[in-house]
């Protein structure tokens, strides 16, 4: 039937393939990276205060509450602005990615120098993010 189709432009032919040649392979198992992405997404949602923002119906955005300049950190420990939660979520998510480096260092079990370098970088990043979290908490007034 396809060979009998009229073609408007000369020189154009029907493609030479059949649908039986197309094959789609389904992976046999879910890759580990997908699990890490899902876990880090959940961590980001929880640590950024997603559940808090859903439950709490207070003001989420601060506009001109201190004169004409916006506040980014709520002065009370029990309240949170939307931008504050997002920043805290990124800090916690980067800290979790830094902890992933410890798992990544185990892949270099037979290359001790590389494993030690990755562990030193991971330790420094964890300390940096821990200090950032402490600074955010102290700015919050805790």
pLDDT tens column, 70-93: 566 766 666 777 777 888 888 887
Q: What is the pTM of this model?
A: 0.57
Q: 36: which residues sit within 8 A by CB, 6+ positions away?
A: 100
Q: How far apart are CA 58 and CA 24, in angstroms?
A: 50
Q: Answer yes or no: is pLDDT of 64 > 60.
A: no
Residue 95 has pLDDT above 80, yes or no: yes
SS3 36: helix
């Amino acid at each position: 039937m396809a060979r009998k189709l009229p073609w408007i432009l000369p020189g154009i032919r029907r493609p030479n393939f059949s649908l039986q040649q197309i094959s789609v392979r389904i992976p046999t198992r879910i890759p580990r990276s997908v699990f890490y992405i899902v876990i880090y997404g959940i961590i980001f949602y929880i640590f950024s205060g997603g559940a808090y923002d859903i439950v709490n119906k207070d003001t989420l955005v601060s506009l001109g509450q201190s004169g004409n300049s916006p506040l980014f950190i709520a002065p009370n420990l029990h309240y949170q602005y939307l931008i504050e939660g997002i920043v805290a979520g990124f800090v916690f998510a980067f800290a979790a990615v830094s902890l992933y480096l410890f798992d990544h260092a185990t892949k270099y079990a037979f290359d001790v120098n590389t494993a030690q370098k990755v562990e030193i970088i991971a330790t420094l990043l964890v300390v940096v993010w821990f200090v950032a979290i402490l600074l955010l908490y102290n700015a919050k007034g805790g």
